[in-house]
Amino acid sequence: MKYFAGIDIGSTAIKITIIDEERALVGHRISGSGSMFYKYAHQTLDDLVNDLNIAKDDIVYTVATGYGRKLFKEADESISEITANAIGAVAAAKAFGEIKTIINIGGQDSKVISLDDQGNVVNFAMNDRCAAGTGKFLDACAMNLEIGVEELGERHFRSTGTPLSINSTCAVFAESEIIGLLGNNHNVEDIVCGVHYSIAKRIVKLVKRVGVKEGVYFDGGPALNEGLVNAIENELGKKIFIPQYPQITTSYGAAILGADSYEYQKMNVVIENLNPYDKSSCS
């Protein structure tokens, strides 16, 4: 059996996905990236291979993507996270139906990708200038509120009032606003709800920049936050599809591209080796 690996080296996490020749998901692993991208990427791959009990040599093609993709020099190919995200989303959403808009919230940026009828990228918009509206911002908010980041979704639905306004577009100032709201005796649930809606408003602005289309797909770690999903759906006015493993969409797309590239190269070798006649007989 041949396997294909997609390695997404992000700013806060490394996501590795392995698929087989049928493009079926074999396994995946997520770890923190830290400052040693190269070291942790290799360690994560080794751990995943051991978990799956497969030989590393059976991984015949590897594609790297994400911020640290150029550092993983052993990869057979590297591609942008925009392309990998689109490929992975289209494949993951087949059961859902056609998707035209991808919302991705990562550790340090957020992006919206617009697709055509064939699943090709036609436009995208990104916010990478400030951490506000990213996974890091959610982590910081949870820390300031002294709750776990995994609690944010559940706390959102316990809010009883109008979502509080978090107006700052700067993550540092937004955190100061949150501390101020706590000081004014607002409850944690209403603050959490306000945080989610502040992120949702930023995301909707990005969506409008690329054009609102039916079939909205949301990936990245924050897609696991049901409160944030609820806020984005309400602000956007559309139902959003969340995949089973939202954190690995991009690495999954990279693995699929790896399988396609491997087959294409193998086909070219076969064509080059075809010899319909003996050229020496013509001399």
Q: What is the pTM of this model?
A: 0.90
Neighbours of 4 (CB within 10 A): 28
Give yes or no for residue 236 having a pLDDT over 60. Answer: yes
**What is the mean predicted confidence (pLDDT) over 28-35?**
90
Dist CA 135 CA 104 (whole Å):
10
Average pLDDT (122-133) is: 82
Average pLDDT over every residue of 231-241: 97
Letter for the amino acid at 23?
A: R
CA dist 234 and 243 (Å) reads 19
On the question of pLDDT at 127 being above 80, the answer is: yes
Position 281 scores a pLDDT of 46
User: Is it the case that residue 69 has pLDDT exceeding 90?
Assistant: yes
Q: Are 64 and 254 in contact (CB under 8 A)?
A: yes
CATH number of the structural domain 3-86+247-273? 3.30.420.40
2 to 18, 28, 63, 261: CA distances (angstroms)? 10, 16, 15, 13
Ranges of each domain in the chain: 3-86+247-273, 98-242
Judge if 3-86+247-273 and 98-242 fold alike in CATH terms.
Answer: yes
Q: Which residue has the tokens 């991984």?
A: 59
What is the pLDDT at residue 128? 65
pLDDT surpassing 80 at residue 261: yes
Q: Work out whether the CA dihedral 204, 8, 76, 272 comes out positive or negative.
A: negative
* pLDDT over 50 (residue 30): yes
Q: What is the distance between the alpha carbons of residues 256 and 118, in angstroms, rounded to a whole number?
A: 16
Classify domain 98-242 at the CATH topology level: Nucleotidyltransferase; domain 5 (3.30.420)
